[in-house]
Amino acid sequence: MGENLRTSVWDEGRVGYRTNRVYFVLFKGDLNYSSLRRSEAKALCNIDYRAPMKKPSSARRTKRRNNPDATKQDILNTATEEFANYGLSGARVDRIAKKMRTSKRMIYYYFGSKEALYRTVLEQAYAGIRTSEAETRLDSASPTEALRQLIEVTFDYEEAHPDFINLVSIENLHHARYLAKAASIRSLNIVIIKRLEDILARGRAEGVFRSDIDALDVHMMISALCFFRVANRHTFNVLFSRDLSSPRVRTHHKRMISEAVLRLLAP
């Protein structure tokens, strides 16, 4: 390569960091070309290489406070919003960095890569809904009332967390590849199924629920009805001019969904 290469740099030209000059090189002998790194250029051209290094803009330079936990959570919160809005490929690390109080460097310091950050965001989001469900107590009531309460909790949570809904949609577009790597999530989700099974068993014993529809079916049905309203509200609104997030519609649908599930479960 060396002998096939010739370089030329302007008079008074310094090839270096933040200089006003830009240099270019020519190759002979093949179709490929490439610009040189500064270090290569330095060696090849024997240029005075002085990195000017900015003066730290003295004025508005607040004292740095080390706070690893806050930094980490700041990154996660900002990233959740970014990934939920733009997807994994659409999300921009630079944009996350700009919105944070810290720098892009820290994303890589704490999470290693964009993909790893996405995975962490996903895990945190799933943990959110499941622990929220787990915290609501509803054992006392009748099976019918317990089920209605469970439905309403799901409805309310999904209404209140469109970011989570988006993340689930996005993850499905990825064939749940990243979710599959988060083993912890699975055990969290078993809980809600166990709970549903419990309610269903009680209802069947009392003769108020049929037995050819199992807990997973019911969970799917509840999820489907609640999820769609949030996930697809934009296309629905564009196509049919009905705003699914308006209070009136929300109240109506909340009752309707409960009723649909309960009616279906009647023997």
Partner DNA sequence: TGACATACGGACCAGATTGTACATTGACGG
Partner DNA sequence: CCGTCAATGTACAATCTGGTCCGTATGTCA
Residues 9-68 that bind a copy of itself (CB under 8 A): 9-10, 13, 18, 20-31, 33, 35
Note whether 119 and 111 are within 8 A (CB).
no
Q: What residue 86 binds from a copy of itself, DNA, none (CB within 5 to 8 A, per partner kind)? A: a copy of itself
Q: What residue 220 binds from a copy of itself, DNA, none (CB within 5 to 8 A, per partner kind)? A: a copy of itself
What beta strand segments (E) does the chain contain? 5-8, 24-27
Closest CA to 129 of 41, 259, 210, 226: 226
Q: Quick one: 31 or 59, whose CB is closer to a copy of itself?
A: 31
Check binding of 38 to DNA (CB under 7 A): yes
Amino acid identity of residue 254, one-letter, is: K
Residue 18 CB, nearest approach to a copy of itself (Å): 8
Print the binding letters for residues 164-203 with a copy of itself: x by CB under 8 A, - otherwise. --x-xxxxxxxxx--xx----xx--x---x----------
DSSP label at residue 29: S
Residue 18 phi/psi, 5° resolution?
Answer: 60, 25
Q: What residue 64 binds from DNA, a copy of itself, none (CB within 5 to 8 A, per partner kind)? A: DNA
Binding segment for a copy of itself (CB under 8 A), chosen from 37-45, 139-147, 148-156, 256-264, is 256-264
Buried b (16+ CB within 10 A) or exposed e, 81-95: bbbbeebbeebeeeb
Q: What residue 149 binds from a copy of itself, DNA, none (CB within 5 to 8 A, per partner kind)? A: none
Residues 148-167 that bind a copy of itself (CB under 8 A): 166
Residues 72-111 that bind DNA (CB under 7 A): 91-94, 102-106, 108-109
In DSSP terms, 8 is beta-bridged to 24
Q: In Å, how far from its chain's centre is CA 267? A: 41
Tokens for 210, please give them.
């049929």
Supply the Cα-derived Rg of the chain in whole angstroms. Answer: 29
Taking the C-alpha atoms of residue 69 and residue 77, their distance in angstroms, rounded to an integer, is: 12
Q: What residue 55 binds from DNA, a copy of itself, none (CB within 5 to 8 A, per partner kind)? A: none
Q: What residue 236 binds from a copy of itself, DNA, none (CB within 5 to 8 A, per partner kind)? A: a copy of itself
Do the strands 5-8 and 24-27 form a parallel or antiparallel pair, or are they unpaired? Answer: antiparallel
Residues that bind DNA (CB under 7 A): 17-18, 22, 31, 34-39, 51, 53-54, 56, 63-68, 71, 91-94, 102-106, 108-109, 113-115
